[in-house]
C-alpha cells in the first residue's frame, strides 16, 4: 500500500477499531453448531481408519469436542476476504492527499487466485475506485467471472507468486495504482481478525471458547485471529492453524518446526486452492515471532474432501475445500485430537472453527466427488 510506516499497531484494540470502520460494509456472519459433527469428533477413530496413516498402531485419541462454526461462506463475495479488503480501502481513503492527489483516479491493484480478487473488486467498486486484478490463468473460472462482475480490470499471470508479483509490478508502474496485497499488510490482517472478534462475541455468554482454528495460506486470517485473541478476556483462547499437506503446502507448519519462515512453496495441486501461497512476512511476525499461534496442523486431500462432504451433507451449507481444513484437523489429525484429550479431559473443548469461504462451482464439486 502507499505507506506501511503509518498503519495501526498490530493489537486487539486495532482489530476492534477495524471492525467499527468496516461494520457498515460487511455481514455479521452467523455462528452455527451441529450435534452430529460434535459426536463424530468426540468418537475415537478405529484402527482401520488409522491404518496407513502416520498414527497406525497408536491408540486412537479420545477428545471431547463441541464446534462453533463461524460461517464466512455467508460473507459478502462468499469469503472472509471482504473484511480485509474493505478495511484496506477505508484506511486508504483516510490517507492525506489520497483524493486530492489523484489517488482515487489511479485506483488500486492486487494479485489473487480468487477470493481477495473478488473482495478488493467489490470494496473498490463500492467506493467508485478503479481496481486492477492480476489472476493466475489457473484460477477458478467461477472466481474469474465473479471478479469481473464487480467491474475490475483483470490481467492474467502464471501460477507462481513471483509470476503474479511481476505482472502486478508492471501494472502498478503503468497506472500508478496503489498495491493492496492479499495478506501481507497490517490493514488486511486487522480486517481479517474481525471475524474472530465477532465469533468471540457470538457464542453464548456461559460458553468459553477454549480455542479457534482457521485455515492458513498467506496467514492473514490466522494472524488476525491471533490478534483478536491477544487481549481482554480472551487471552486464554488458544489459536491454531491448519494447512493442506499435499506437495509441501504446509509451509507454516514446517516453518514453525524449524523456527524459520518458508518463503516459497512448490507448485501444489491441493484442492484447497486458496491455501497455495506461503505465509507472509508480517503474518509470520505474529504467528511465530510473537508466538500468538500455538501450533499449525496439516491434513491430506482425502481428509479435506471427507470434511467437506460432511459439511455439505450434515449442515446443508456450501463451503469450498480451503474452508474446511480446520475442521479436517479436528476430525482426523490425531496429534491435534490427542492435545484436546490431554488438556480438555472429560469436559472437553469448545472449539471455534472458521469456515473461510464458499466459492466453489458445481462443476468443481462434481469433479471432486466423481469417483465416490
> pLDDT tens digits, the chain, 372 residues: what are they?
444 445 789 999 999 999 999 999 999 999 999 999 999 999 999 999 999 999 999 999 999 999 999 999 999 999 999 999 999 999 999 988 887 767 788 999 998 877 899 999 999 999 999 999 999 888 878 778 889 999 899 999 997 778 888 999 999 999 999 999 999 999 999 999 999 999 999 999 999 999 999 999 999 999 999 999 998 777 899 999 999 999 999 999 999 999 999 998 888 889 998 898 899 999 999 999 999 999 999 999 999 999 999 999 999 999 999 999 999 999 999 999 999 999 999 999 999 999 999 988 888 888 888 865
Q: Using an 8 Å Cβ cutoff, are 194 and 220 in contact?
A: no
Strands (E), the chain: 31-32, 65-71, 108-111, 131-136, 153-157, 178-179, 211-215, 238-244, 295-299, 349-355
- Cell 469433479 identifies what position? 367
Which pLDDT score is estimated for 100?
73
- pLDDT at position 7, please? 72
Question: Does residue 311 sit in helix, strand or coil?
Answer: helix
pLDDT at 3: 42
| Start-to-end Cα distance in the chain | 45
Q: Give the whole-angstrom CA distance, residue 198 versus residue 354.
A: 11
Of 304, 357, 364, 301, the C-alpha closest to 331 is: 304
Compute the distance between CA of residue 296 and CA of residue 324 in angstroms, rounded to an integer.
Answer: 14
Domains and CATH numbers, the chain: 30-74+193-368 (3.40.50.1100), 80-183 (3.40.50.1100)
pLDDT at 369: 86
Residues 334 and 297: their CA atoms lie apart, in Å, by: 10
Please say whether the beta carbons of 358 and 317 come within 8 A. Answer: yes
- Catalytic residue numbers read 81, 113
Dihedrals phi, psi of 102, to nearest 5 degrees: 90, 5
Residue 241 CB coordination number (10 Å): 33
Unique residue bearing C-alpha cell 488476525: 224
Question: What integer pLDDT is reported at residue 368 of this predicted model?
Answer: 86
Determine the length of the chain.
372
Query: What are the strands of the beta sheet with 211-215, ordered from one edge?
Result: 31-32, 65-71, 349-355, 211-215, 238-244, 295-299
Distance CA 246, CA 270 (A): 6
Predicted local distance difference test score (pLDDT) of residue 67 = 98
The rounded Cα 198 to chain-centroid distance in angstroms is 15
Q: How far apart are CA 240 and CA 336, in angstroms?
A: 10
Half-sphere exposure of 164 (CA within 13 A, CB side): 24
Q: Which residues contact 333 (CB under 8 A, 6 or more apart)?
A: 242, 297, 298, 299, 303
Max distance between CA atoms of the chain, in angstroms, equals: 67
**pLDDT at site 2:** 42
Q: Is residue 302 exposed (0-12), middle (13-18) or buried (19+ Cβ within 10 Å)?
A: exposed
pTM of structure: 0.95
DSSP label at residue 206:
T
Q: What gap in Å lies between CA 281 and CA 184, rounded to an integer?
A: 7
**DSSP β-ladder status, 211-215 and 178-179:** unpaired
What SS3 state is found at 152?
coil
> What integer pLDDT is reported at residue 371 of this predicted model?
63
Amino acid at each position: 500500500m502507499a505507506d506501511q510506516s503509518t498503519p495501526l499497531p498490530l493489537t486487539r484494540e486495532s482489530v476492534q477499531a477495524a471492525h467499527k470502520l468496516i461494520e457498515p460494509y460487511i455481514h455479521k456472519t452467523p455462528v452455527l453448531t451441529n450435534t452430529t459433527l460434535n459426536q463424530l469428533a468426540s468418537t475415537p477413530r478405529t484402527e482401520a481408519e488409522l491404518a496407513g496413516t502416520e498414527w497406525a498402531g497408536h491408540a486412537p485419541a479420545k477428545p471431547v469436542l463441541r464446534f462453533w462454526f463461524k460461517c464466512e461462506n455467508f460473507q459478502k463475495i462468499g469469503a472472509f476476504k471482504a473484511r480485509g479488503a474493505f478495511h484496506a480501502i477505508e484506511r486508504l481513503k483516510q490517507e492525506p492527499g489520497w483524493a486530492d492527489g489523484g489517488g482515487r483516479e489511479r485506483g488500486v491493484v492486487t494479485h489473487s487466485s480468487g477470493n481477495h480478487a473478488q473482495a478488493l473488486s467489490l470494496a473498490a467498486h463500492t467506493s467508485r475506485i478503479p481496481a486492477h486484478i492480476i489472476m493466475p490463468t489457473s484460477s477458478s473460472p467461477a472466481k474469474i467471472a465473479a471478479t469481473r462482475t464487480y467491474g475490475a480490470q483483470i490481467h492474467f499471470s502464471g501460477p507462481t507468486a513471483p509470476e503474479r508479483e511481476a505482472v502486478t509490478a508492471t501494472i502498478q508502474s503503468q497506472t500508478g495504482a496503489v498495491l493492496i496485497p492479499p495478506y501481507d499488510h497490517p490493514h488486511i490482517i486487522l480486517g481479517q481478525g474481525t471475524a474472530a472478534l465477532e465469533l468471540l462475541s457470538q457464542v453464548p455468554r456461559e460458553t468459553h471458547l477454549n480455542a479457534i482454528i482457521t485455515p492458513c495460506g498467506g496467514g492473514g486470517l490466522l494472524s488476525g485471529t491471533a490478534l483478536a485473541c491477544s487481549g481482554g478476556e480472551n487471552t486464554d483462547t488458544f489459536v491454531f492453524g491448519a494447512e493442506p499437506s499435499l506437495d509441501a503446502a504446509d509451509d507454516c507448519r514446517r516453518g514453525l518446526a524449524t523456527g524459520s519462515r518458508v518463503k516459497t512453496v512448490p507448485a501444489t495441486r491441493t484442492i484447497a486452492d486458496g491455501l497455495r501461497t506461503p505465509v507472509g512476512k508480517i503474518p509470520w511476525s505474529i504467528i511465530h515471532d510473537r508466538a500468538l499461534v500455538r501450533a499449525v496442523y496439516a491434513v491430506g486431500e482425502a481428509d479435506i474432501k471427507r470434511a467437506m462432504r460432511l459439511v455439505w451433507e450434515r449442515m446443508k451449507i456450501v463451503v469450498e475445500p480451503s474452508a474446511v481444513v480446520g475442521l479436517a484437523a479436528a476430525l482426523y489429525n490425531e496429534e491435534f485430537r490427542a492435545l484436546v484429550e490431554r488438556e480438555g479431559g472429560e469436559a472437553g473443548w469448545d472449539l471455534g472453527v472458521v469456515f473461510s469461504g464458499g466459492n466453489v462451482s458445481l462443476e468443481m464439486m462434481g469433479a471432486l466427488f466423481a469417483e465416490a
